[in-house]
Amino acid sequence: MENRPLEYDYTVAKWFMLTTVVLGIVGMLIGVILAWEMAFPAVNTIAGSGLAEYTNFSRLRPLHTDAVIFGFTLSGIFATWYYIGQRVLKVSMAESKFLMFLGKLHFTLYLLVVVAVVGSLLLGITTSKEYAEFEWPIDIAVVLVWVIWGMGLFGLIGIRREKSLYISIWYYIATFLGIAMLYLFNNMEIPTYFASGGIGAWYHSVSMYSGTNDALVQWWYGHNAVAFGFTVPIVAMIYYFLPKESGQAVYSYKLSLLAFWGLMFVYLWAGGHHLLFSTVPDWMQTMGSVFSVVLILPSWGSAINMLLTMKGEWQQVAASPLIKFMILASTFYMFSTLEGPIQAIKSVNALAHFTDWIVGHVHDGTLGWVGFMIMAALFHMAPRVFKREIYSKSLMGTQFWIQTLGVVLYFTSMWIAGITQGMMWRAHDEFGNLAYSFIDTVAVLHPYFTIRAVGGTLYLVGMLLFAYNMYKTMTSSRRVEESELQNASPMGA
Amino acid sequence: MDIATFQAYGYFFFTAFLVVVLYAYIYHLYSSQKKGTRDYEKYGNIALHDDITDQPIEEISKNDEIKK
């Protein structure tokens, strides 16, 4: 045993890869059910009226968002951290029993929190704050999980061999710090049972903020959860996986540093765009708009850097479905970081606010950018952690095209639906009477809701293909040698 | 001056200050690369040469020894 050469230890990474796939399927399945419920309301009671409490839109909606954000995405972030972290710091988890213990504890507690979240949300126990629905006992557990991850993260950095922190590590550190700050402040809450001397349920709480302040803190959190959950860690992934898979170093390392600080500087101020035309002070709304537009620069800085990394190597995009996933992810990142600022312009927002266009924007970002990048990351990791080639290249290609079609159907239908909705809501006659009632818009939107449901279903089908491909890779693919794992991932036909 | 006006001025000048810092950072990155003080682009290789047996781009212990 003593003479065995040192190797990276991917135990914890593997566990998180598993939860990424499982929770991804769960979250996306619920999303698809919700989409069909929107198109055909009868689906709300599909399991019978006795179970309608558990299958209706309002009960399932937070379960969908939280499963894809805190289940699929967060698992993906942790899985890639436990993979990339060791490699770019050139230190193995096996070198520290304590870090290994922290990693395993991190995963175990994370899994317990997932169970608590799913259970409580299904039972309808919620604080009713969007993306922050968990009640205070779960919040405390979440903080614990986060602190343990942080200890592991900084612990690994502390024993590294590589002096300079690769750009991805900067992004993981920012994810840790950003989410810690946001989560703590937005979830400041008072347990009512203890504050009132025994009234109500023990787990119930109310926010420490109220009215406009509550809205402001909530959207400072909500928008930056997108920043530090859907942007920063996913950029960390692409900065590692695209260069590694293509064998090309980042086009400009200086630009990556610059885009990092630009993103950190600008993102935190943009959340006000969620509260345009509300009771929030006007200057704050303007600030939200302006910073959202400025945000195009650092976002595109990273995305263009990724596309330029492929300079002279574009044949790889045609040849490798894995590179295709990453290039499309990067393109969708550019696309949604242009779309978001456009929606944040006050005059555009007057039309877009509360419409399906916003839902479309979120999904071209999450399905096209976050989803594609996380799946690409897992595809790249699989041969290295399981020492087997990716089971099927053609299945991967099929998945890519099915999902791309799904995303395109999703966002185009939501664009049309959203703009139609916005136009109908504001239409009026010469006396100022509204031209349409709400139900008129619902009737008009029905075809687009159906197209959206089809698009979502296609994406879910792709996710199932992904899960099958990963399962076969893990269990029955051809074994590979270390020498085959340098850059492009080995794939079976 | 009431507190709101003070906040607004404070906010404006702080933002302007951070913009200057960001631009100074850009200047620093590109000028130190040009002068040869530091080659930032070599750090891109950290991702490419990341086997545990690979030589680190900048070894942590070596640098510490130089400092001594």
What ipTM did this prediction achieve? 0.87
Question: How confident is the model at residue B7, as a pLDDT?
Answer: 86
Q: How far apart are CA A359 and CA A336, in angstroms?
A: 12
> Mean of the pLDDT values across residues A173-182?
96
Q: How far apart are CA A80 and CA A20, in angstroms?
A: 10
Is some CB atom of chain A closer than 8 A to the CB atom of B44? yes
Q: Which two tokens stand for residue A67?
A: 């499963």
Is some CB atom of chain B closer than 8 A to the CB atom of A90? yes
CB A322 within 8 A of CB A396: yes
Q: How far apart are CA A298 and CA A259, in angstroms?
A: 5
Q: Lowest mean pLDDT: which of A98-112, A209-223, B23-37, B50-64? A: B50-64
Contacts of B18 in chain A (CB under 8 A): 265
Q: Is the pLDDT of residue A162 over 90?
A: yes
pTM of the model: 0.95
Bridge-based pairing of strands A205-207 and A189-191 is: antiparallel
Q: Which two tokens stand for residue A439?
A: 């139900």
In tens, the pLDDT along A389-435 reads 999 999 999 999 999 999 999 999 999 999 999 999 999 999 999 99
Is some CB atom of chain B closer than 8 A to the CB atom of A261? yes
The count of other CB atoms within 10 Å of the CB of residue B20 is 10
Q: Which amino acid is at B60?
A: I
The alpha carbon torsion through B58, B60, B61, B64 (nearest 10 deg) reads 100
DSSP letters, A143-168, are: HHHHHHHHHHHHHHHHT-SBSSPPHH
Question: How confident is the model at residue B4, as a pLDDT?
Answer: 85
Beta bridge pairs of residue A162: B59
Question: How confident is the model at residue A385, as a pLDDT?
Answer: 96
Question: How confident is the model at residue A3, as a pLDDT?
Answer: 65
Q: How far apart are CA A175 and CA A85, in angstroms?
A: 13
Mark which residues 130-149 of A lie under 8 Å from B by CB.
none
Question: How confident is the model at residue A354, as a pLDDT?
Answer: 94
Q: Is the pLDDT of residue B68 over 50?
A: no
Residue A335 — very low, low, confident or very high, per pLDDT cuts 50/70/90?
very high
**Sign of the torsion formed by the C-alpha atoms of B36, B38, B40 and B44:** positive
A255's enclosing H/E stretch is helix A253-267
Q: How far apart are CA A196 and CA B67, in angstroms?
A: 60
In tens, the pLDDT along A178-230 reads 999 999 999 999 999 999 999 999 999 999 999 999 999 999 999 999 899 99
Q: Which two tokens stand for residue A384?
A: 């290295």
Q: What are phi and psi of B58, to 5 degrees?
A: -135, 110
Question: How confident is the model at residue A146, as a pLDDT?
Answer: 98
Is some CB atom of chain B closer than 8 A to the CB atom of A240? yes
Contacts of B51 in chain A (CB under 8 A): 87
Question: How confident is the model at residue B19, as a pLDDT?
Answer: 87
> Mean of the pLDDT values across residues A82-108?
97
**Mind telling me how many Å the CA of B12 is from chain A's nearest CA?**
11
Across A304-322, b (16+ Cβ under 10 Å) vs e yields bbbbebbeeeeebeeebbb
% chain A with pLDDT above 90 = 95
Contacts 24+ apart (CB under 8 A), A350-354: A350/A276, A350/A277, A350/A426, A351/A419, A351/A422, A351/A423, A351/A426, A352/A418, A352/A419, A352/A422, A353/A276, A353/A277, A353/A422
Contacts of B30 in chain A (CB under 8 A): 254
Residue A237 — very low, low, confident or very high, per pLDDT cuts 50/70/90?
very high
**Mind telling me how many Å the CA of B22 is from chain A's nearest CA?**
8
Q: How far apart are CA A14 and CA A16, in angstroms?
A: 5
Test B47 with A240 for CB contact under 8 angstroms: yes
- Selection from A370, A359, A349, A371 nearest residue A459 by Cα: A371
Q: Is the pLDDT of residue A320 over 90?
A: yes
What distances in angstroms separate CA A183 from CA A70, A174, A217, A437, B61, one per listed residue?
Answer: 12, 14, 10, 39, 37
The chain-wide mean pLDDT, for chain A, equals 95
What distances in angstroms separate CA A25 from CA A63, A141, A360, A471, A491, one per listed residue?
Answer: 13, 24, 20, 14, 23
Question: How confident is the model at residue A482, as a pLDDT?
Answer: 87
Residue A2 — very low, low, confident or very high, per pLDDT cuts 50/70/90?
low
- Selection from A303, A183, A180, A306 nearest residue A231 by Cα: A303
Q: What are phi and psi of A434, to 5 degrees?
A: -65, 140
Q: Is the pLDDT of residue A261 over 90?
A: yes
Q: How far apart are CA A82 and CA A153, in angstroms?
A: 9
Phi-psi domain of A281 (left: phi exceeds 0; alpha: psi -120 through 50; beta: other): beta
What distances in angstroms separate CA B18 from CA A42, A294, A417, B14, one per listed residue?
Answer: 54, 14, 41, 6
